[in-house]
Amino acid sequence: MDTHLDIRPSPIAGQWYPRDPQRLAASVDGYINAARLPAIEGQIVAVVAPHAGHIYSGPVAGYAFAALRGLTPDLVAVISPMHYPYPQPLLTSAHQGYSTPLGDIPIDLDALQLLDDCLRDELGFGLSPVKNDPEHSLEIELPFLQRTFPKGFQLLPVMVRDQRQRVAACLGYSLAQVLRGRNAILVASTDLSHFYNQETAETLDSEMLRRVGAFDPEGVLDAETTGKGFACGHGALAAVLWAAKELGATAVKVLHHATSAEITGDFSQVVGYGAAVVTRVG
């Protein structure tokens, strides 16, 4: 790509995933190749993937990205939470691309502008561009996408700070307006419950994933509000489900669930991870 572009450097390479390109490629390929997928019917519109350090959530993320193998999208919209206390409700990168050890990914600036315009019409505010953000939940998906789509793609990055229903629903609608007619894939980046014991986490995660599998974005947000299930990216997840509905998707299949205990051996305080695929028949 154009070396004169302003590229966001990675703040997490070497910490959340390997810095060495060969090690990173091998580890990501290993997670994807290890996934044992059920039959998936229809055209894939979106996937749901976790966003912890690859060593923890990579085995689950591998299921989401294994489902995308063989596709060649021109544009990938990654919608994640913003974990840091920015005052703006919806954020994007002020750079022109993202860097990982596997190379640079250009941002589709035209699509980003269209999304901003649509959000301003729907919400009265748009995307706030930020430089050198420290957010991991969007970047963590990029090496998986780079190995899944080796021919390259452009990125539409959105980080959600305000996860209320009106914002999520309008973001979903606006994403659909931008992506309609495009050769595009949506990625919802979220982890599930945090720091409960394994038994409690299984209960909470099962309920959240039940609502995801029911293709129920309102239910996803309700689970968070009522404490019946948790997802740190519930707003981003609901937005992607709404966008997928607008784009004609009809079904969600949960592909895999696990917790950090399977890696750490600590069952007293775990983090839950889930992968799912959203499809359109016809």
Tokens in use for 6?
């302003």
Pairing of strands 154-160, 43-49: unpaired
pLDDT digit string, tens, across residues 59-116:
999 999 999 999 999 999 999 999 999 999 999 999 999 999 999 999 999 999 999 9
Pairwise CA distance, residues 168 & 241, whole Å: 10
Position 276 pLDDT exceeds 60: yes
Residue 4's pLDDT band (cuts 50, 70, 90): confident
pLDDT digit string, tens, across residues 253-272:
999 999 999 999 999 999 99
What local confidence, expressed as pLDDT, does residue 234 receive?
A: 98
Helix/strand/coil (H, E, C) string of 118-145? HHHHHHCCCCEEECCCCCHHHHCCHHHH
- What's the mean per-residue pLDDT of the chain? 97
29 exposed, middle or buried (CB, 10 Å; 0-12, 13-18, 19+)? middle
What local confidence, expressed as pLDDT, does residue 3 receive?
A: 55
Pairwise CA distance, residues 151 & 78, whole Å: 18
Position 1 pLDDT exceeds 90: no
Residue 47's pLDDT band (cuts 50, 70, 90): very high
Tokens in use for 208?
């959240």
Position 2 pLDDT exceeds 60: no
- pTM of the entire structure? 0.97
Rounded to the nearest 10 degrees, the angle between the axes of helix 217-226 and helix 234-246 is 160
Q: In what order do the strands lie in the sheet with 103-106?
A: 7-8, 97-100, 103-106
CATH class of 7-280: alpha beta
Residue 250's pLDDT band (cuts 50, 70, 90): very high
